[in-house]
Amino acid sequence: MEFNVFEYFKGYHRTTRGPMTPEEQGTPFFCAGHMGERITEHLDGYAARAGLSRRNFIGTASGFAAAMLAVNKITGMNFFEVSEVEAADPVAAKEIKVSRKPGQDFIVDAHTHICTRKDGYVQGVNTTEKGMWFVQLLDDLGKSMGLPNGTKDMTPDNFGKLILEGSDTSVAIFNPFGFREDYGGKDMIPMEEQAEVKQRWPDRTLMLAGGLTPNQGLGPTLERLQMYVERYKISGLKLYTFDSTPKRGWWFDDTKLAYPIWERCRKLGVKNIGCHKGIPFGQFMARYAHAEDFDAAADDFRDLNFIAYHSAWPYHAEIAALKGFKPQRTNLYCEVGSTFAATVTSRPLECAHVLGTLLRDLGPDYVMWGTDSLLWGNPQWQIEAFRKFQIPDQLVEGHGYPKLTDEVKAKVFGLNAARIWNLKTTAQAPLEDRSRIVAV
Ligand SMILES: [Zn+2]
């Protein structure tokens, strides 16, 4: 593939001291990309002025701001709305950060996971060699983001601590992984184990079902879907069109394998159907990460919403075209988990193009926030980065992208998800309660 999303932190910070501040997660990530050396030089200058060591400075709000300011200076484009005073003065930076907190943003993280199961992942015992590729990648990612034990730390406990308490996230939507052929005949994250998250935080979470793999047999797949609705009261699906069966994948527009699932969804009142698209990782085939199978499905099931997770990046132009050239569509959505995080620090121009393309072609009402945490530990640094991110004027002029205004950010952060998942945002609630609104 043309790009391995994780290449920049393979072997980087492989073990950590444990939980980090959001800035300690985000700032080193800025320093790890190809601009890293130059960003670090800028950071050292600001750290010296603040009288702090680099290591201590990196963990402050100023360190994070200084990294963003350095990106603006190095590229000569204003990717981040950040001031000299924030970068230079940790106290001022903290005040600016706090003044933007909570209540001002209703944040729905449409893309979260736990990633652990009781019997773990042991190669040769319950995990194949290929299955370990995915586990290893998630382990490395977790370790670089403050989870010292990788996937073993991606637990319901940490879901509560890092996403629901440790970040400004109001509501988190989570989903399991299937691929049971690679994981000892049992889903990589079984529904029954992830259901604990919904039980513990019923007002702050929505649970999506997954693991539906019609190549394992359509009959059992439909039975499973029925069971998910009846037993788990699911809020939608998040599926994977690549799979671990010998066929390796399937398509949403397959009238024999997939349409019966959508018809059953209709009957059962399951309206929101997501799919991992883009980011063709681990043991999975890239061809199934393309989104063109959404095309016919979206027209034939106009009462269902189809959501391209990861915004199909690096194939995001394909999902954007499915609306850009077919503006009559109102049931095509995307979500930015991992895509935003992987590009914003070291490829800000790409990040702006991806967001710009999606906002221009799918439209500001159809792009949703997501972080793919706990795979990325605490999502707060991503939230802070999105609050400050903007599409530079040159790109707005030259590509017709919308500006990333506060209004557009509010839609992306939560209002779009609130609309399709029927969440109450209670704008009238006292300011301090607004970020704690409940899922219904
Ligand atoms: Zn994910």
pLDDT tens, residue by residue, 121-134: 999 999 999 999 99
- The mean-pLDDT minimum among 43-57, 224-238, 426-440 falls in 426-440
* pLDDT higher than threshold 90 for residue 395: yes
Cα 399 from Cα 304, distance rounded (Å): 31
Q: Tell me which of 146-150, 290-294, 367-371 is least confident.
A: 146-150
Would you give the DSSP letter of residue 147? -
Phi, psi (5° rounding) for residue 173?
Answer: -105, 125
**Across all residues in the chain, what is the average pLDDT?**
91
pLDDT in tens, 173-214: 999 999 999 999 999 999 999 999 999 999 999 999 999 999
pLDDT at residue number 430: 47
Task: Give pLDDT, residue 426.
Answer: 53
Mean pLDDT of 259-286: 96
Do 22 and 380 meet the contact criterion of CB atoms below 8 Å apart?
yes
* 171 alpha carbon – ligand 1 mean position (Å): 16
pLDDT for the residue numbered 94: 86
CA–centroid distance, residue 127 to ligand 1 (Å): 19
Residue 353 burial (CB count, 10 A): 18
**pLDDT of the residue at 428:** 41
The answer on pLDDT for 3 being more than 50 is: no
**How close is the Cα of 35 to the center of ligand 1, in Å?**
27
**What spacing in Å lies between the alpha carbon of 341 and ligand 1's midpoint?**
12
Compute, in angstroms, the gap from residue 74 CA to the centroid of ligand 1.
Answer: 32
Note the pLDDT of residue 17.
59
- Token pair listed for 50: 């603040």
- Total residue count of the chain as it appears in this document: 440
Task: Name the residue among 100, 23, 97 with its Cα closest to residue 64.
Answer: 23
Q: Are 121 and 135 in contact (CB under 8 A)?
A: yes
Look up the pTM and report it: 0.93
Rounded to the nearest whole angstrom, what is the distance from the C-alpha of residue 274 to the centroid of ligand 1? 11
Report CA(364)–ligand 1 centroid distance (Å): 22
The total of other beta-carbon atoms located within 10 Å of residue 142's CB is 25
pLDDT at residue number 112? 98
pLDDT band, residue 100 (cuts 50/70/90): low
Residues with Cβ < 8 Å from 7, sequence gap 6 or more? none
- Dist. CA 429 → ligand 1 center (Å): 31
Q: Which of 20-29, 43-52, 359-368, 377-386 comes out lowest in average pLDDT?
A: 20-29
How far, in Å, CA of 322 to CA of 189, rounded? 31
Residue 373 Cα to ligand 1 midpoint, Å, equals: 8
Ion ligand 1: residues, CB within 5 A, are 372
